Amino acid sequence: MELSISRINNFVGCPYSLELFYKYGIVSTKWKDAAEMGTAYHKLHEVAVNAEQDGTNVMEAVAAVINEKYEHCPSHKTVEEWEKEQALVTYGFLAYHWFYDVADFEIIKAEVPFYGVPILDSEGNDTGHTLKGRIDNLIRMPNGHILIHDFKTTSHDLTSGSYWTAQQNNMQMRTYLYAARCLQSHGVLEEFGIGKDEIIFGAMIDVWKKPGISPKFITQKDTKLLVEGGQYYSNDFKVEWTSDLECRANGVITQVKMGAKGAAYAIRETPDMYGARLIHVMTEDPDMYFARRNVPITDRDMALFQDNLAKIVRTIDFMNQTDNWYNVKTKCRETYTCDYTGICDADIDISQGILPEGFKCIFDKE
């Protein structure tokens, strides 16, 4: 069985989720906003690194990806929701590059995929299972140390000790380090200048906390200041009525709330106005929204990780062979809503081949 770290984590929380996926091929068709936004944010960083290494214009490459990604609003989203996500991803990326104007490390290789990495226990015994996944970056520090570099997006408080404690014990980083060392031992990383005798020490994580603000109507007072001064959070905006019923800010139609006193009115932020406020919020207090920290991983940590991982996959084998899968309903909404809550909540027997709305089978039907 080839496993990703997300599937392993799902199994640890609730074995039934792995049975539904690997035994029955059941996946959710529901859109996951947080995951999709995180994927888009990761993609911009990948494109930026590749453009820089290729000698092409970074911002043009990033803009092309953003335009393609957000060209069409999907049916399950409103236009306002889609524009908000685009602004968050775009301006989050721009604020990141403002905050980290000069990188203090060299990116050796961006987006390193791995497949078929054997899961061995701490004594080197093969469990018969493999790992798959993708490492964001391999980087080299000024002291020559090579690290795993991972981008993360979160809604959690970056100043909280509990967040960093969780990252210190993050199984994902140890999985990536394990995979990178396996690729290195087989000479796969030599083409990127990483020899078999070098040491990949640990991991560094780059976290962006998504601002919890949304587009809004600005006050009548602020609207008046904007109209007269042409500035909104230090950005130029021209507000004008193009007809009795239509108001635009920099050419983009905006919603209007008329005041009780006739001439007074308030406008709603356009995507670019919302973006200007996002930049202001993130650059005013960047430590609230961006954090970059090393995650030390010792040899003992890796030995324990290998041993635990081997025990996990052997438990999977046992459950599969004896059909002793079980679910843990207390985990369904503990930190996030599990993909399979619609099945568990209704106690649906998947073995009968009946799927509720929002799910599909990815196995070929004979």
pLDDT tens for each residue of 60-107? 999 999 999 999 998 888 999 999 999 999 999 999 999 998 778 999
CA distance 120 to 310: 6
Residue corresponding to tokens 């236009």: 79
Chain centroid to Cα 36, Å, comes to 7
104 with 83: CB under 8 angstroms? no
Instruction: Return the pLDDT at 204.
Output: 95
CA distance 196 to 214: 49
Q: In a 3-state reduction of DSSP, which class is residue 258?
A: strand
Instruction: Return the pLDDT at 132.
Output: 96
Q: In a 3-state reduction of DSSP, which class is residue 157?
A: coil
Q: In a 3-state reduction of DSSP, which class is residue 179?
A: helix
Instruction: Return the pLDDT at 249.
Output: 95
The full set of domain ranges for the chain reads: 2-30+327-361, 33-99, 106-210+296-312, 220-268
Residue 110, sorted as left (phi over 0), alpha (psi -120 to 50) or beta, turns out to be: beta
Q: What is the mean pLDDT of residues 186-200?
A: 93
pLDDT, tens digit (0-9, with 9 covering 90-100), for 264-290: 899 999 999 999 999 999 999 999 999
DSSP character at residue 105: S
Confidence grade of residue 245 (pLDDT, cut at 50, 70, 90): confident
Q: Residue 33 pLDDT > 70, yes or no? A: no
Chain centroid to Cα 268, Å, comes to 29
Percent of the chain residues topping a pLDDT of 90: 70
CA distance 297 to 168: 8
Please choose, from the candidates 177, 166, 70, the residue with its C-alpha nearest in 3D space to the C-alpha of residue 117. 177
Instruction: Return the pLDDT at 365.
Output: 57
Amino acid making up residue 272: D
Query: Sign of the C-alpha dihedral, residues 182, 188, 190, 194?
Result: negative
CA distance 256 to 44: 33
Non-local (6+) Cβ contacts of 31 within 8 A are: 74, 76, 77
Q: Residue 166 pLDDT > 90, yes or no? A: no
Q: What is the mean pLDDT of residues 232-252?
A: 92
Q: Residue 366 pLDDT > 60, yes or no? A: no
Q: In a 3-state reduction of DSSP, which class is residue 264?
A: coil
pLDDT, tens digit (0-9, with 9 covering 90-100), for 199-227: 999 999 999 999 999 999 999 999 999 99
Chain centroid to Cα 69, Å, comes to 15
Q: What are the structure tokens assigned to 104, written together?
A: 């203090």
Amino acid making up residue 202: G
Instruction: Return the pLDDT at 362.
Output: 85
